[in-house]
């Protein structure tokens, strides 16, 4: 009997080891260079998991995934994308696998889905950046950006491509003191909308544009590397996304997917987020060296409402800025 129990125990241990191994497919909006770094660091802890990923803007990621759903052949095990709005939609369609045992210790439960279908991994705010060689008296408020003298020299990411941009535009459009009148003022003032935040960073850093509405870590990291760019936390507040991670209900390697989620939420994963220039969820791992010791207010958004209005937000934005 003792020999049988030992054999069963050995089999269970082997099964556990195998459970966190094999291929893991991730669809993500994380920039490719940062995703490469993330996979390398994750594999230091989980060397037997072979990660493959597809990276694009959130909208294109979801277009690809929706096509795969329609064909009955979704490829990813894990989604790591910009915003909770998309996750809310997938949850409503039963596309996400609950992970109630995810290790969320040290993080604010309010940042995660109450049903455990998706989990925030970091805080990414949207403010604006400016070129320090071209702008000597920078704006400090969102209101100033709508002045044609600034709007005509402004670029921004498009909600048709970027999840963070969709959250930003939708939040301001629903906030007293802004509304669609504010978004329209940017457009009529001459602001340009490209695709993702990477294009905004390039335009401002090279002087092609004086100002750019952009997520925080890109210009802060670029400035730390010597680029002539500075980031502003506007006086009225910032919008924010939390780059949630989720396991698809159709995941082929659930155990590896769970290991990836837990690693993202772990102290190690959160410290790595700080290394990459992100604000972490955990207060015990500090702030990025590139991040100023600045207090800011987050303009709150309702993910369910933004989900309901997402197609209208994209349509109205396209009418103003072009599709």
- Which pairs from 60-69 meet CB under 8 Å and 24+ separation? 60/161, 61/27, 61/28, 61/29, 62/86, 64/27, 65/27, 69/95
DSSP state of 255: H
| Same structural domain, 89 and 32 | yes
Q: What is the pTM of this model?
A: 0.78
Summarize the confidence of residues 176-191 as an average pLDDT. Answer: 97
Please compute, for residue 52, the number of CA atoms within 13 A of its CA located in the half-sphere on the CB side.
Answer: 8
| Same structural domain, 300 and 185 | yes
Give the residue numbers spanning the domain of 210. Answer: 125-241+294-321
| Same structural domain, 92 and 170 | no
Summarize the confidence of residues 138-149 as an average pLDDT. Answer: 97
| Same structural domain, 192 and 299 | yes
Residue with tokens 């060296």, as numbered in its chain: 289
Question: Which residues make beta-bridge pairs with 298?
Answer: 238
Comparison of pLDDT for 185 and 287, the residue scoring more: 185
pLDDT band at residue 17 under the 50/70/90 scheme: very low
How far apart, in whole angstroms, are the C-alpha atoms of residue 203 and residue 259?
A: 38
pLDDT tens string 240-285: 989 999 999 999 999 999 999 999 999 999 999 999 989 999 888 9
Residue 57, classified by CB atoms within 10 Å of its CB into exposed (0-12), middle (13-18) or buried (19+), is buried
| Same structural domain, 108 and 250 | yes
How much is the pLDDT for 9? 36
How much is the pLDDT for 323? 67
| Same structural domain, 226 and 300 | yes
Q: What is the number of structural domains in the chain?
A: 2
Mean pLDDT of the chain: 91
* Helix (H) or strand (E) segment spanning residue 125: strand 124-131
How much is the pLDDT for 163? 85
SS3 label, residue 104: coil
pLDDT tens string 65-93: 999 999 999 999 999 997 788 899 999 99
């Amino acid at each position: 009997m003792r020999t049988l129990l030992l054999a069963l125990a050995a089999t269970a241990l082997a099964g556990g080891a195998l459970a966190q191994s094999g291929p893991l497919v991730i669809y993500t909006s994380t920039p490719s260079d940062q995703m490469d770094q993330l996979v390398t660091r994750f594999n230091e802890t989980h060397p037997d998991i072979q990660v493959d990923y597809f990276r694009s803007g959130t909208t294109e990621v979801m277009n690809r995934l929706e096509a795969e759903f329609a064909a009955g052949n979704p490829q990813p095990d894990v989604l790591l994308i910009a915003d909770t709005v998309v996750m809310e939609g997938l949850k409503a369609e039963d596309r996400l696998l609950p992970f109630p045992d995810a290790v969320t210790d040290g993080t604010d439960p309010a940042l995660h889905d109450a049903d455990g279908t998706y989990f925030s991994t970091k805080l990414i705010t949207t403010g604006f950046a400016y070129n320090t060689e071209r702008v000597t008296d920078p704006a400090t408020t969102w209101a100033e950006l709508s002045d044609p003298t600034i709007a005509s020299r402004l670029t921004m990411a498009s909600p048709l491509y970027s999840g963070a941009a969709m959250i930003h535009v939708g939040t301001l459009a629903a906030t007293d003191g802004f509304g669609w009148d504010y978004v329209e003022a940017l457009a009529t003032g001459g602001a340009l909308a490209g695709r993702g935040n990477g294009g905004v960073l390039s335009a401002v850093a090279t002087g092609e544009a004086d100002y750019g509405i952009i997520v925080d870590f890109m210009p802060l990291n670029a400035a730390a590397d010597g680029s002539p760019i500075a980031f502003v936390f506007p006086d009225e507040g910032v919008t924010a996304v939390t780059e949630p991670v989720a396991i698809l209900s159709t995941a082929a390697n659930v155990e590896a997917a769970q290991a990836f989620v837990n690693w993202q939420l772990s102290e190690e994963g959160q410290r790595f987020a700080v290394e990459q220039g992100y604000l972490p969820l955990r207060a015990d791992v500090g702030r990025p060296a590139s991040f100023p010791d600045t207090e800011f207010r987050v303009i709150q958004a309702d993910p369910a409402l933004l989900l309901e209005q997402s197609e209208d937000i994209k349509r109205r934005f396209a009418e103003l800025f072009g599709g």
